[in-house]
Amino acid sequence: EVQLVESGGTLVKPGGSLRLSCEASGFTFSKAWMSWVRQAPGKGLEWIGRIKSESDGGTPDYAEFVKDRFTISRDDSQSTMYLQMSGLQSEDTAVYFCTTPLFKTPNYWGRGTLVTVSS
């Protein structure tokens, strides 16, 4: 059974930093291009970025709005993807989801982890 478990979400002050984790099981994580998607309270889905498999270069791509603030990385030995966030602002308050490849079959999502940015 495929499982994606996000963790690390918490209350953080404006300007602060946070690292989210996405632990995967039930599939060959090392071969998967993984994505982060977020959803602000009462708002729609927003793609943050993705990271390719190491065999495809292991490089990340990002949405423009997070460039230079967020970094996606992966540790295939731990079947885990990370989202390092810095310079957090109130508009970054959201549930953060990790997903398996969005355009390949099958596609799975985690339950998400809530990040709240507030003083």
Partner 1 sequence: DVVMTQSPRTLAVTLGQPASISCTSSQSIVYTDGNTYLNWFQQRPGQSPRRLIYTVSNRDSGVPDRFSGSGSGTNFTLRISRVEAEDVGLYYCLQGAHWPPYTFGQGTKLAIK
Residues interacting with partner 1, by CB under 8 A? 35, 37, 44-47, 49-50, 61-64, 97, 102-103, 105-107, 109-112
What minimum distance in Å lies between the beta carbon of 87 and partner 1? 19
What minimum distance in Å lies between the beta carbon of 109 and partner 1? 4
What minimum distance in Å lies between the beta carbon of 89 and partner 1? 19
Name the residue nearer to partner 1 (CB basis): 11 or 45.
Answer: 45
Name the residue nearer to partner 1 (CB basis): 7 or 15.
Answer: 7
Name the residue nearer to partner 1 (CB basis): 56 or 61.
Answer: 61
Cis status of the peptide bond prior to 60, with omega within 30 of 0 = no
Beta-bridge partners for 86: none
Asked whether the beta carbons of 89 and 107 are under 8 A apart, the reply is: no
Name the residue nearer to partner 1 (CB basis): 27 or 109.
Answer: 109
Phi–psi pair at 23, nearest 5 degrees = -95, 125
- Tell me which residue of 114, 98, 118 sits closest to 40, measured CA to CA: 114
| Token pair belonging to 104 | 């390949």
Q: Which phi-psi region, left, alpha or beta, contains residue 112 (left: φ > 0; alpha: ψ -120 to 50)?
A: left
What minimum distance in Å lies between the beta carbon of 77 and partner 1? 26
